[in-house]
Amino acid sequence: MSQLKIPNSLTGTVSSLYIHVPFCQSKCHYCDFYSISTADSRLLRLWHERVQVELQRLQREAESNGVTILPLKTIYYGGGTPSLLPFEFLSEELELCRQLFGLAEDAEITLEANPEQIKSEKIAADWLSIGFNRLSIGLQSASDHLLRVMGRRHSREDAFQAVTFAHQAGFRNISLDLISGLPDAHMSDIEDTLAFIAALPLTHLSCYALDVPSHTRFAEMLAADSGRFPDDRLEREMFHRIREVLIDRGFKHYEISNFALESFQSRHNTVYWRAEPYLAAGPAASSYLAGIRRSNPDSLLEWSKTVLEQGPFSAENITEIITEDEARRESILLGLRLLSGVNAGDFQQRHAIDYRHLFAAQIEKLSQAGLLDFDGETLRLTREGEDFCNIVFREFV
Ligand code: SF4
């Protein structure tokens, strides 16, 4: 792997950082993200110490790997359950990021949090005081019976309190996650969740269709009794209803699964959808830098060893070197997730080629099928294309 060459056309700068916190109090029944079900303080401290080493190595070794780190415009603490971390850890890590990389004045700094951990206004005020300015809270559903089916540790009331505390503490950018197509869910649950969130001071909502990865409790449930799971048609009806109501309430549907009030689109996630570079730290975290995708080991102890011995830029971490041809396909694939679409001029500037020629056959075929729309400048998914985006994406792989 050490012989691999970085493609020159993809070298560059980076100003986004993802930090993966691999701890949860228990495993939700639909989740296959890398996390350990523990809040053991020794493991949390091990992670905290190592992540600081990793951040230092990222800063020290970036330049020799073709990457210039600019003052960060976005930092995203995801997981796992970042809100499980002690306040001092978060504080020290953000301070270290400030010292190592610098922070843009208007940097978006997001903490993923579970409702049951925002137990007071003070907890949220503490996060705000060290620089977090965006909370992404995992609601998933406001129906208590569905929260139990998912193995979530919070109730509808906990979620209401959490958002209220966060807002009272001063958070002005609060996002909630929802899932459509949950087992035992009916349209009435969607209506109930929509009524519940109407009263909350939200700026952003992510709504994902349920995916059932193997090795989860839901996979066992699906195998045992698939009748509990809404079929695709009903799942789409649920999503359409959510979309209709959120748009009525002034949210813009800006990405296949995401809605935001004006100027509250997730800046960090938009980096992913625009196939722009980002740094990453923590077990199982993946970075995309200078045309190279690296993934840290999805094991706390292995990652910890790798951080000390090889460092974040090690050849062993490389999972993919993106050729220019792949980069062009990714720009279309990821860019189509954004409902503003892929502009031909932007694409030309980035890849020195006209996608109308490069992907003429795919565009023609998918337009005829009613899944893509091209207005002469921008290629977008149609409404039908949003529902069948996997068919669209397959054509560009
Ligand atoms: S809290 Fe989040 S990361 Fe942890 S198991 Fe549940 S869904 Fe997965």
**143: closest CA among 178, 112, 171?**
178
Spatial contact of 62 and 186, defined as CB atoms under 8 Å apart? no
Of all residues in the chain, the percent with pLDDT exceeding 70 is: 97
Looking at residue 11, its pLDDT comes to 53
Ligand 1 atom closest to the Cα of residue 31 is: 8
Edge-first strand order for the sheet with 134-140 is 252-255, 258-260, 204-209, 174-180, 134-140, 103-113, 67-79, 12-21, 279-281
Our answer on whether the CB atom of 80 is closer than 6 Å to any ligand 1 atom is: yes
**243: closest CA among 387, 140, 369?**
387
Output the six-digit token pair for 242: 């959510």
Q: How far is the CA of 372 from the centre of ligand 1 (A)?
A: 34
Looking at residue 1, its pLDDT comes to 36
Our answer on whether the CB atom of 84 is closer than 6 Å to any ligand 1 atom is: no
Q: Can you tell me the distance from the alpha carbon of 161 to that of 196, in angstroms, rounded to the nearest whole number? A: 12
Our answer on whether the CB atom of 24 is closer than 6 Å to any ligand 1 atom is: yes
Q: What is the pLDDT of residues 239-280, one digit of tens each?
A: 999 999 999 999 999 999 999 999 999 999 999 999 999 999
Q: How far is the CA of 79 from the centre of ligand 1 (A)?
A: 7
Output the six-digit token pair for 155: 């109730």
Q: Can you tell me the distance from the alpha carbon of 27 to that of 34, in angstroms, rounded to the nearest whole number? A: 10
Neighbours of 388 (CB within 10 A): 16
DSSP state, 278?
A: B
Q: What domains can you pick out in the chain, each with its CATH number? A: 10-273 (3.80.30.20), 341-396 (no CATH)
Looking at residue 65, its pLDDT comes to 85
Atom 6 of ligand 1: nearest residue by CA position: 28
Looking at residue 330, its pLDDT comes to 94
Phi, psi for residue 106 in degrees, rounded to 5: -105, 30
pLDDT under 70 in the chain at which residues?
A: 1-11
Neighbours of 37 (CB within 10 A): 9
Residue 192 Rama label (left phi>0; alpha psi -120 to 50; beta): alpha
User: How many angstroms separate the most distant Cα atoms in the chain?
Assistant: 58
Our answer on whether the CB atom of 113 is closer than 6 Å to any ligand 1 atom is: no
Q: What is the pLDDT of residues 56-106, one digit of tens each?
A: 999 999 988 889 999 999 999 999 999 999 999 999 999 999 999 999 999
